[in-house]
Amino acid sequence: MILLTLFACILLLVLLITWVKANAFISFVCTAIVAGLLLGMPAGNIMKSVNKGIGDSLGSVAAVIIFGAMLGKIVAESGAALQISTLMHRIFGYKYIRYAMAFTGLIIGIPLYYNVGFILAVPIIFSIAYQYKLPSVYIGLPMLTALSVMHGFLPPHPSPMSLIGIFNADLTKTFLYGFIIAIPTIIIAGPVFAGRFRNFVRHSGLISAPAETISQHQLPGMVNSVISSILPVLLIAIASLAPLLAGPESTLVSTFHFFGDPAVAMLITLMVTTVTLGTAHGKPVKEVMTCYTGAIKDVAMILLIIGSAGALKQIFVDSKFSDQLSTMLSSYAINPLLLAWAVTALLRVCLGSATVAGLTAAGILYPLAVHSGANPDLLVLSIGAGSLFGSHVNDSAFWLYKEYFQLSLKETFKSWTAMETMVSVLGLIGVLILNIII
């Protein structure tokens, strides 16, 4: 009966999103209400749980996600991301151009959300492909791999940040473990895999000539560009090291912890970049604020999806369904990290959206964090890896890539779908290896 109820809820969610084409927020709330009724909750308590779930889910991540969106927007529009790309090309040179693209994607992928990063990356990709007369897939796949990995694995991106809150994981450890896994994953699924497309038939794509860029004198400095992108990571890292340097009893530790809080770190970075990437380059404050307003619009639906996914999770918790599911799962000798990946991968194939798949899996797998003893930091990464599995025709990113690069369905499956699946499997392998080591 437990599995039947769970299956019915997942099926309803899948049908609402894929068949009815309903908005994901509406789909999650409707599924949460139906789940409450199926699980025998008093009708008067269902909306209380829904509201609590939405509030709890958004309360811990809303500020970080909004500030992160604003940071990504100004990094993109100021030309800082272009400067980082230029630096990487100078470091790696023509011979290792694929690695330059991958590490460019890694750096700009820290502050930029995937959709924003993709749109920003495409002109750079086609410009370089045009310059060196190389296939756009050969040049572009490494950068898009890095963007995808950062989006699925690492905070402050929406899904990882939400999962950290749900499972009470440690932000610093999750980022560190995720970064350790991300590097080899990006290299293998990006530059190494892209090497097979060296002699790929060149497609002109939607952008066949170098895109217009910001004039050189308007670009921020190289150091400014890099620091602006990674400043939140630096602040959080310094705060994490403070107890080791000053001693756990030092009064400075609490101060460092305040400045290392993700929301505070993002806000400080935003205040700095408003000047260094905005007003210092002649942009009026009003123009910078307009840029930030646009960023909020970009993530509004993501915030709603995160909140509504929290509503479904709260229904499972308040109805005691999670406890029953936990008891049942504990009777099977399945590695909880592998189970988390498999459930999320299945949802990803069914639902298309990596964020929706990850948050749905979190609601289902919440008992694992409470009862199984699984490392919550690795659980976040396992779900993140599963959420990238097997991107195909129900994923908007699949079509974005196909249309921009002007590929056939077969070519898209051979390059994009294969890359995303490889990233997912390599991420799982990395999680299982880390689980043995730590």
pLDDT of residue 207: 47
Instruction: Show the tokens assigned to 207.
Output: 């952008």
CA–CA gap between residue 356 and residue 10 (Å, rounded) = 12
Q: Please report the pLDDT score of residue 368 as a whole number.
A: 67
Per-residue pLDDT, 333: 67
Q: Give the pLDDT confidence score for residue 425 in this predicted structure.
A: 97
Cα distance between residue 185 and residue 58, in whole Å: 30
By the 8 A CB rule, do 362 and 383 touch? yes
Question: Residue 286 has what pLDDT?
Answer: 92
- Mention every residue, 6+ apart, whose C-beta is less than 8 A from residue 221: 83
In the predicted structure, residue 211 carries a pLDDT above the cut 50: no
Please state, rounded to an integer, the average pLDDT across all residues of the chain: 83
Residues 6+ apart with CB under 8 A from 414: none
Residues 6+ apart with CB under 8 A from 373: none
Q: Which region among 54-68, 129-143, 321-335, 395-409 has the lowest average model confidence (pLDDT)? A: 321-335
Region 25-46: what's the mean pLDDT?
90
Q: What is the pLDDT of residues 69-85, one digit of tens each?
A: 888 788 878 888 778 77
Give the pLDDT band of residue 1 (cuts 50, 70, 90): low
Q: Could you give the angle at the alpha carbon of 114 between the alpha carbons of 104 and 236, nearest 5°?
A: 70
CA-to-CA distance for 59 and 165, rounded, in angstroms? 9
Percent residues over pLDDT 90 in the chain: 26
C-alpha torsion angle, residues 28, 354, 425, 163 (rounded to 10): -70
pLDDT band at 210; cut points 50, 70, 90 = very low
- Cβ contact 262:237 at 8 Å: no
Q: What value does the mean pLDDT take over residues 80-100?
A: 81
At 204 the pLDDT is: 52
| 156: preceding bond cis by omega (within 30 degrees) | yes
Q: Is the pLDDT of residue 167 over 70?
A: yes
The domains of the chain are located at 2-207+232-437
pLDDT score of 301: 81
- Say whether pLDDT at 46 is over 90: yes
41-54 mean pLDDT: 91
Least confident of 206-220, 229-243, 280-294, 368-382: 206-220
How far is the C-alpha of 69 from the C-alpha of 347, rounded, in Å? 26
Q: What is the pLDDT of residues 234-274, one digit of tens each?
A: 887 777 776 666 665 666 777 777 887 888 888 998 999 99
By the 8 A CB rule, do 132 and 140 touch? no
For every residue of 22-82, DSSP letters joined together read --HHHHHHHHHHHHHHHTT--HHHHHHHHHHHHHHHHHTTHHHHHHHHHHHHHHHHHTHHH
